[in-house]
């Protein structure tokens, strides 16, 4: 073989090897009390696998910061001490609490991280719930206006005793948004990062949209609708995620701040839009608001659309979506 022919052969071989090896790479992990999945397309599967790991590490980092189950998290320190004096936190946590307070203002208090003042009294796995008297007492500490964030100094203070905060309604969306940013920063053009009911999509699925199914709130085998998505976020909040039933009443993890009890107007809410922190916060909020107030809020946000399954199983769509015929 002449040198020239050899070079062409080598070039073809390298080209073939590169093209042939490009593939979908994915990883699954249990983080933040939920199932985390990362899937991406990469020319070099080994590098792709490293990126999956990088996203997983980011999820662990966010969990360590924001988990109320971890004694040594920043949020646990806030809940322990912020009623006595301002607690220093990372810029990142302060910013996410500020975003949560903005979500409270936007939703007239349906979204409220101080729900946790009563919320911590529930343990859905252990089938535990507070007595009426305990809820009454806790209600005084549910009000987002009791949370004071000093953004310049990154401190958080509570204006009274008994206040607790929990970012569970927004943290997973924030985490998948961060994960997607890592993928984009690494040049990924086709990928998805999911944490439980929250997904952030990067690009398309190589010429096709990503199709995300929304499960039936009372039958996990059934899909009620499929959303074709490109470069978008999707979040679902449902009363089937963490719950127990007692005497025909479903006690679940989305709490109406006004009553300290599980919201019961709807079974599930799915929101799509450009930012996963927003879709996550909005899905929880619209769940609390119910069909009418929920749809009217969404109609004011042109970038966000939603599907609500009410507590009779009927579906409601925002005007930007078409109901399947």
Q: Interface with ligand AMP by CB under 6 A: which residues?
A: 111-113, 115, 119, 166, 168-169, 197, 237, 241, 253-255, 257, 280, 283-284, 288
Is residue 166 within the footprint of Mg ion (CB under 5 A)?
A: no
Q: Give the contacts of 220 (CB within 8 A, at least 6 positions apart).
A: 240
Report what 288 binds from Mg ion, ligand AMP, none; CB cut-off 5-8 Å by kind.
ligand AMP
Report what 255 binds from Mg ion, ligand AMP, none; CB cut-off 5-8 Å by kind.
ligand AMP
Report what 306 binds from ligand AMP, Mg ion, none; CB cut-off 5-8 Å by kind.
none
Give the nearest residue (CB) to ligand AMP: 168
With CB under 5 A as the contact rule, which of the stretches 48-56, 101-109, 182-190, 283-291 interacts with Mg ion? Answer: 283-291
Phi-psi map region of 8: left, alpha, beta (phi>0 left; psi -120 to 50 alpha) = alpha
CA dihedral (132, 136, 138, 139) in degrees, to 10, reads: 130
Q: What is the DSSP letter of 40?
A: E
Beta strand residue intervals within 52-125, DSSP E: 87-88
How many CB atoms are closer than 10 A to CB 209?
A: 15
**Size of interface with Mg ion, in residues (CB under 5 A):** 5
CB of 287 to Mg ion, least distance (A): 8
Report what 253 binds from Mg ion, ligand AMP, none; CB cut-off 5-8 Å by kind.
ligand AMP
How far lies 260's CA from each of 119, 153, 168, 235, 256, in Å? 7, 32, 16, 23, 6
With CB under 5 A as the contact rule, which of the stretches 40-48, 199-207, 284-292, 309-317 interacts with Mg ion? Answer: 284-292
Q: What is the DSSP letter of 306?
A: E
Q: Exposed, middle or buried by CB within 10 Å (0-12, 13-18, 19+), for 12?
A: exposed
Applying CB under 5 A, among 103, 280, 294, 305 the residue interacting with Mg ion is: 280
How many CB atoms are closer than 10 A to CB 307?
A: 21
CB of 230 to ligand AMP, least distance (A): 23
Residues 178-237 interacting with Mg ion (rule: CB under 5 A): 237
Measured between alpha carbons, how far is 112 from 160 in angstroms, rounded to an integer? 16
Is residue 169 within the footprint of Mg ion (CB under 5 A)?
A: yes
Applying CB under 5 A, among 104, 114, 194, 283 the residue interacting with Mg ion is: 283
For Mg ion, the binding residues (CB under 5 A) are: 169, 237, 280, 283-284
């Amino acid at each position: 073989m002449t040198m020239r022919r050899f070079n062409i052969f080598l070039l073809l071989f390298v080209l073939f090897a590169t093209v042939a090896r490009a593939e979908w790479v994915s990883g699954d992990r249990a983080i933040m009390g939920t199932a985390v999945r990362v899937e991406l397309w990469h020319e070099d599967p080994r590098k792709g696998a490293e990126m999956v790991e990088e996203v997983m590490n980011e999820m662990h980092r966010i969990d360590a910061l924001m988990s109320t189950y971890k004694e040594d998290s920043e949020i646990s320190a806030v809940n322990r001490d912020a009623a006595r004096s301002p607690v220093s936190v990372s810029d990142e946590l302060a910013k996410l609490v500020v975003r949560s307070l903005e979500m409270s203002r936007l939703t007239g208090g349906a979204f409220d991280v101080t729900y946790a003042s009563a919320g911590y009294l529930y343990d859905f796995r252990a089938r535990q719930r507070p007595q009426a008297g305990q809820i009454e007492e806790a209600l005084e500490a549910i009000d987002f206006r009791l949370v004071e964030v000093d953004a310049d100094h990154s401190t958080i203070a509570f204006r009274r005793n008994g206040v607790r905060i929990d970012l569970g309604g927004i943290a997973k969306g924030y985490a998948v948004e961060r994960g997607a940013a890592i993928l984009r920063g690494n040049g990924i053009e086709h990928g998805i990062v999911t944490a439980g009911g929250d997904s952030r999509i990067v690009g398309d699925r190589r010429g096709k949209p990503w199709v995300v199914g929304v499960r039936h709130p009372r039958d996990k085998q059934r899909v009620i609708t499929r959303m074709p998505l490109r470069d978008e976020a999707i979040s679902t909040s449902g009363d089937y995620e963490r719950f127990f039933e007692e005497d025909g009443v479903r006690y679940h993890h989305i709490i109406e701040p006004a009553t300290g009890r599980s919201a019961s107007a709807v079974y599930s809410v799915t929101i799509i839009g450009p930012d996963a922190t927003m879709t996550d916060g909005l899905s929880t909020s619209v769940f609390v608001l119910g069909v009418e107030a929920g749809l009217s809020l969404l109609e004011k946000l042109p970038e966000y659309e939603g599907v609500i399954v009410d507590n009779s199983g009927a579906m409601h769509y925002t005007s930007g979506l078409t109901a399947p015929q």
